[in-house]
A and B are shown apart, each in its own frame.
Chain A
Amino acid sequence: MPNLRITNVQTKISYVLAGLCIILMIVDLYLIFWVAPIDIVLGNIQKIFYIHVPIAAMAFLAFFLVFVFSILYLIKRSDHWDRIAHASGEVGVVFVSVTLLTGVVWARPVWGVWWTWEPRLTTTLILWLIYIAYLMVRSYAPNKSQGSLYAAAIGIIGFIDVPIVYYSVQWWRSIHPSAVVGPFAESGSLEPLMTKILLVSLVTFTVLFVLLLNQRVFVKKQEDLLAQTLEVSNK
């Protein structure tokens, strides 16, 4: 029986992470709303960029982690890797949802439409659908171990599918050219101060991601511990 107890050190680490995250978040928000220069062309709406971009980056990281830990799980069959993959999938879906929502809010004033079938947007949307299916398979599976196996298979295929989806929508759109410019298009013209604040934002949201991931793994561990205890006491 694997040891699922949560040690003191782990608890301390999550407190430190949470504290660090709160401090960074306050600093980051201050930088974004008071320090960052206001974009001449786009105005205030440009500030969403500092939240949108890091969250999108973290979402992609999350799905990469799902891929890596799914493979590890299939090789080692240790529940530990499965818990990390599952937690990462959950946090990833939340982050992609926020990415899509902030993107929609940004697109309306800047591009004049809520949504456009631009390659990066389309890929993100399909990504969101794939990982919702990933989470659904887990909860619809007949039992936990089968759910883990199925989810691992989808986590692997889904991640392999992402670049294919991206190239296909890019080619698809290149036949019907669109005037829309992606949010990364202007990154070359970013002011140095903007770049620095973006980096701070990136660090902040990385800490937030690690914190959330850590907490989810924590909770899943306790759920498994509870299930184990119940099993023992029922015997």
Chain B
Amino acid sequence: MEFRGKDILVSVPIFGFLLIVLFNFALDVTPNIASHVAPGILWVAFAFAGILTMNRAFVREREQGGLEGLLLSPVSRDAIFISKVISSCLFMFVVEIALVLALTIMMNIWMFSVVLVVTVLLTTLGFTTLGTLFSAIAVQTRSREVMLPVLFFPMVIPILIASVEITSQVISGQSIGIGKWLPFIIIFDALFLLICPWLFGIVMQE
């Protein structure tokens, strides 16, 4: 769905890249603190890019009345929800790969590892699960651009903490906390993957 509109495929990575550049000036990143602040910068960029992506998730349907058509079609609400989550996830992955590359080059940090890839995949799944539900709610409200972050950010703080912790440990070459934080993200994902489709079905009844 999103790949049809090329505008967002370009604008979201550019936005994320701009955030990295802004942080560079705001925090005055020198090489010796780069490894310390990079995880935070990376995940704030992901979260903001995520907000932009999720904001778009239902806007197209909303603008052209496609949501009614989608809801009238003989597809279960769960299927709509899961497909929205998957499409947002795939889009986010593309953005995240671009941002990790950008951060690696701009801050001279080597952070590729299997653990980090798994963390990014799982956290993005959690982000988009909650984000899809909140996006479906926010798109119906007035001032939806503000509503989504207000709903979304407080709820995802736990996995944001978890993924920042894992990222900083990966960068510094440690692995003490990973065995604790990774299951935490998995539990978070599993919990909300169970609850959100149910609530989505209820919220979408109108």
Contacting residues, chain A, for B154 (C-beta < 8 A): 126, 129-130, 133, 161
Residues from chain B with Cβ under 8 Å of A157 in the complex: 130, 133, 155, 192, 195-196, 199
Q: Given known contacts A136-B150, A157-B130, A168-B158, is B140 in contact with A150 (CB within 8 Å)?
A: yes
From A140-148, A189-197, A208-216, the one touching the partner chain is A140-148
- Minimal Cβ-Cβ distance residue in A for B159: A168
**Interface check A33, CB cutoff 8 A:** no
Please, how many residues of chain B have a CB less than 8 angstroms from a CB on the other chain?
33
User: Closest approach, in angstroms, between the C-beta of A148 and any C-beta of chain B?
Assistant: 11
Q: At the interface, is chain B mostly helix, strand, loop or mixed?
A: helix
- Minimum CB–CB distance for A165 against chain B, Å: 5
> What sequence of 0s and 1s flags, for each residue 157-181 of chain A, a beta carbon within 8 Å of any chain B beta carbon?
1101100110111011001000000
B151 located at the interface, meaning its Cβ lies under 8 Å from any Cβ of chain A in the complex:
yes
Q: With a CB–CB cut-off of 8 A, which chain A residues contact B159?
A: 168
CB distance from A66 to the nearest CB of B (A): 15
Write the A74-87 contact mask toward B (1 if CB under 8 angstroms, else 0). 10000000000000
Q: A126-B154, A133-B150, A149-B202 in contact; A172/B141 too (CB < 8 A)? A: no
| B43 contacts partner chain A, Cβ-Cβ < 8 Å | no
Is B181 positioned at the interface, with any CB of A under 8 Å from its CB? Answer: yes
Task: Return the contact of A171 from the options B133, B155, B180, B203 (Cβ within 8 A).
Answer: B180
B19 at the interface (CB under 8 A from A): no
Take A150-B203, A157-B130, A175-B165 as given contacts and tell me if A137 and B155 are in contact as well, using a CB distance cutoff of 8 Å.
Answer: no
State which of A130, A156, A161 has its C-beta within 8 Å of the C-beta of B199.
Answer: A156
Chain B residues with CB under 8 A of A105: none
Asked if B140 and A141 make an inter-chain contact with CB atoms under 8 angstroms apart, the answer reads yes
- Contact partners of A152 in chain B: CB under 8 A: 202
Asked if B165 and A172 make an inter-chain contact with CB atoms under 8 angstroms apart, the answer reads: yes
Taken together as a complex, chains A and B put the C-alpha atoms of A140 and B150 apart, in Å, by 12
A-B pairs, top 4 by smallest CB distance, nearest first, are A168-B158, A140-B141, A129-B154, A153-B199
- Taking beta carbons and an 8 Å cutoff, which residues of A are in contact with B? 74, 126, 129-130, 132-133, 136-137, 140-142, 145-146, 149-150, 152-154, 156-158, 160-161, 164-165, 167-169, 171-172, 175
Given contacts A136-B147, A140-B147, A150-B140, 9 further A-B contacts (CB under 8 A): A126-B157, A129-B150, A133-B150, A133-B151, A149-B205, A149-B206, A150-B137, A164-B188, A165-B157
